[in-house]
Amino acid sequence: MKRYVYSFGGGTADGDGKMRDILGGKGAGLAEMSKAGVPVPPGFTISTEVCNLFFENDHKVPKQVDEEIHQALDKLEKQMGKKLGDPNDPLLLSVRSGAKFSMPGMMNTILNLGLNDETTEGLAKKTGNPRFAYDCYRRFIQMFGEVALHIDMAKFDHIFDTRKAKVKAKLDTDLTAEDLKAIIADYKKLVKKETGREFPQDAHEQLMLARDAVFNSWNTPKAIYYRRMEKIPDSIGTAANVQAMVFGNMGNHSGTGVGFTRNPSTGEKVFYGEFLVNAQGEDVVAGIRTPQPIAELEQVMPEAYAQLRDITSNLEKHYRDVQDFEFTIEEGKLYMLQTRNGKRTGPAAVRVAVDMVEEGLISKEEAVQRVAPNQLDQLLHPVLDPAMRKGLQKIAAGLPASPGAAVGRAAFSSEDAVRLSTEGPVILVRKETTPDDIHGMDVSKGILTAVGGLTSHAAVVARGMGRPCVVGASSLAVDEAKKQATILFEGHKTVLKEGDWISLDGTQGEVYLGQCKTNEPDPKSHYFATFMQWADEFRGDFGVRANADIPRDAKAARVFGAEGIGLCRTEHMFFAEDRIPHMQAMILARDEKTRKNALKKLLPMQRKDFAGLFEAMDGFPVVIRTLDPPLHEFLPKRENVMVDLAKLPYASAKEKKEMAQTYGASVGELKKHLPELLKRVEELHEFNPMLGHRGCRLGITYPEVTEMQARAIFEAAVQVAKKGKKVIPEVMIPLVGSVKELENQKQLVVRVANEVLEDAGMKDLKYYVGTMIEIPRAAMTADEIAREAEFFSFGTNDLTQTTMGLSRDDYTKFSRQYEDLKIFKADPFAVLDQDGVGKVIEMAVKLGRKTRPDLEVGICGEHGGEPSSVEFCYRIGMNYVSCSPYRVPIARLAAAQAAISGHRKAEAQRTA
């Protein structure tokens, strides 16, 4: 018979650490610790499979599961010598979620389950500590009321804060037993008012309601949002962990804390975490009280601290990874409540991986696989400019929870952050964040909270998202209703209002008023350079190039390890202020001679650009795409020209001068120029520009445009080659759908190349002519096109649009519904649609290489820097991917992981 409930504790367990799919990360960790003899409060785990059965069975668990739960509870009661619901000596339980992958704060926890009016009195008598008993009961009603009975937490907080104010209690611990009894009475009235029934007194009913609440929390909006953000499958479900309670709130010899075996922000090998005396676990992570650094536990409870250091060090060696742990000390006795592989920032992940190789804990191959490719993005975050920050007013300081710099406008609620983010960068400023703030955190560049510690919700989630974060900035008094914060810092009072610019330093834990300049990080640091060297060893000869249009981007790409340029978009060069008039003159020309004269003025500019790219790449290939967009994109909008034409007779001298500057004409020419411009704009108007007169179609109808660009490319190549540098030009013809189109443009490019190279005495300079595959017909006739093309580069942005019949610009209007309904697994313009577009690409690669076995194949769309898309490109045999310069390290690592995975699969097949 299939099993659904697994017991643990007392040195034994039904499961183990390898059963994360079934027990979830938390349950697997508890089982493994139990088997290792670590002091773990006993309990049982209801498997992740039950969560799925719960939703399939109309939010009910099967009878077999209920029976297994009762059996596990009987076993737990015998282990503890207590019974659930016993009025004299009650067994109290915690019920916690725990999916395979960590989702901090996204799902529900209930503590002190089993308390009711009778058992609370029994607990008070048994412990001789009425305040402790009533504190546990009020916590339970509050937590259970929110999680299982769906009562707004703010209503409980209002009752609690009102009582604190009435008795002038500064801290929660200042409340007396009588105060807590009064709060409990008011809580119970609130429950009756909100639910229409008394607070549940049956402990077994409480357990079943808590279990169901944990499962239901799997599908709350915040949990769904987090899974989508972290790419966690919806189908895996969460386990529910039921555990005997141990109490950190029994007095000054008790406490609770969370920690990491290494610093999760920097990766430094230091014992890291926080604790609170006389508190329960939720107090630490919720930021209700600002906790103490874990190092101070050595002075407060030295024996427990020594035992904690010993246990956690052994756990790190056992799991060979950084451990994120939770513990409670009850009357001086230490209990471990959780261990799991710790979430960490990108910089920390890289440092830990390198350090653990050097410590002999893991291999280089394991190190390369330990870091998620997107985490590298965090190493490439900017930092506040040191000189400029000196001139800004420091308005707050807190704990450095997540590194990096963020500059943006202040928003005091998640809803406001989402709204303001459409207008520019935002910093979310909160008293403390809760899991409900996930959407606001996601759109914000940085996060600042007034309370909370390094393991608070804001800190943990920000680190996972790679957002700079400062927490515990106690000088902030946040007023969400007024959309402002009053800050008293170092004798100065500042009122920060919505929309004010602030600069955040998540590495130092500092906040400045104003908009600071940011500087780029150093990708040559020891840890990053070492790690990327290892990644490149496993990546082998699979190339990573960069999309770069100007020499500055090309130089940045080389710094990040790019091995060439996979896409230079020449049209971007024409939009410069000194070039657009010549481009417009070329477009407005009514004959070839006038058009060529305009192009002559552009040629030296393009030659200079290309020479800069060749020099920056110094021996690596440079793929240059000929003009791609329709000509109307270089002209003013039709509506603007019509308005200015209508205003012209009535315009002031100043307005006419501004018009003349806008249109690149003299004031006297405007009367003639504007009507001609409007006529040309209307002639070039297209109903569907994306599928209109653009790409190779422009080059065929205006061959002088392709000729000018080809001449600029090869004159630049000659110029750089004469300096002794190796140059590898690759000319890419866009939007080809027929081999005849490529044949036409290739003949022109080859003719110009041969003329330039022969005149320079460099006939041996090797170059290539290829095409961008971006429409389905090109993919379907790739065998024919490969007769002319020496390389293929897949333009997956347009190929996705044309294959799926989906506009990239318009998809955003309904993308949320499509992704919520699982019609699309992800945004197909961000993550390659391997089932559809991927099949088109794979077919084109096979057809192309059938004609030309040595065909070079790459990808240059946005997907070239997305890890799962890189893995696909590697798997189908492409030669390289190309992406933005700052995503080059991500692509390098993704390719290395794809190579390791491919090697392992091949080994498995060979040995099978």
| Residues with a known catalytic role | 457, 860
10 Å CB burial of residue 155 (0-12, 13-18, 19+) is middle
- Please say whether the beta carbons of 217 and 240 come within 8 A: no
Residue 641 three-state SS: helix
Of all helices (H) and strands (E), which one includes residue 773? strand 768-773
**What angle in degrees, to the nearest 10, is found between the helix axes of 638-647 and 670-684?**
150
10 Å CB burial of residue 525 (0-12, 13-18, 19+) is middle
- The distance in angstroms from the start CA to the end CA of the chain is 30
Q: Which two tokens stand for residue 876?
A: 């189908």
Beta-strand pair 469-471/446-449: parallel
Distance between alpha carbon 662 and the CA centroid of its chain, in Å? 40
- Distance, in Å, from the CA atom of 14 to the CA atom of 45, rounded to the nearest integer, reads 10
**Angle 5-202-2 from CA coordinates, rounded to 5°:** 15
In sequence order, the β-bridge partners of residue 476 are 487
Q: Where are the alpha helices (DSSP H) in 618-702?
A: 638-647, 653-663, 670-684, 696-701
Beta-strand pair 93-99/238-244: antiparallel
Residue 109 three-state SS: strand
φ/ψ of residue 371, rounded to 5:
-105, 125
- Distance, in Å, from the CA atom of 560 to the CA atom of 532, rounded to the nearest integer, reads 10
Residue 399 three-state SS: strand
Place of tokens 């000054």: 252
Residue 886 three-state SS: helix
Residue 862 three-state SS: helix
Count of residues in the chain: 912
- Please say whether the beta carbons of 107 and 97 come within 8 A: yes
Other CB atoms within 10 Å distance of the CB of residue 19? 21
Q: Find all residues with CB under 8 Å of 248, minimum gap 6, and list them.
A: 254, 255, 256, 276, 278, 279, 280, 281, 328, 329, 330
- Please say whether the beta carbons of 302 and 279 come within 8 A: no
Of 583, 599, 286, 237, whose CA–CA distance to 431 is shortest? 286
Instruction: Sheet containing 5-9: give its strands across.
Output: 12-13, 5-9, 43-46, 238-244, 93-99, 109-113
Other CB atoms within 10 Å distance of the CB of residue 813? 9
In sequence order, the β-bridge partners of residue 496 are 485
Q: Please report the sign of the dihedral spanned by the C-alpha atoms of residue 746, residue 752, residue 754, residue 756.
A: negative
Q: Which two tokens stand for residue 770?
A: 């290829």
Place of tokens 């005849």: 740
Q: Please report the sign of the dihedral spanned by the C-alpha atoms of residue 645, residue 647, residue 650, residue 652.
A: negative
- Distance, in Å, from the CA atom of 872 to the CA atom of 886, rounded to the nearest integer, reads 20
- Distance, in Å, from the CA atom of 485 to the CA atom of 475, rounded to the nearest integer, reads 10
Rg (CA), the chain: 32
Residue 32 three-state SS: helix
- Distance, in Å, from the CA atom of 609 to the CA atom of 501, rounded to the nearest integer, reads 36
CA atoms within 13 A on the CB side of 781: 15
Place of tokens 């299982």: 148
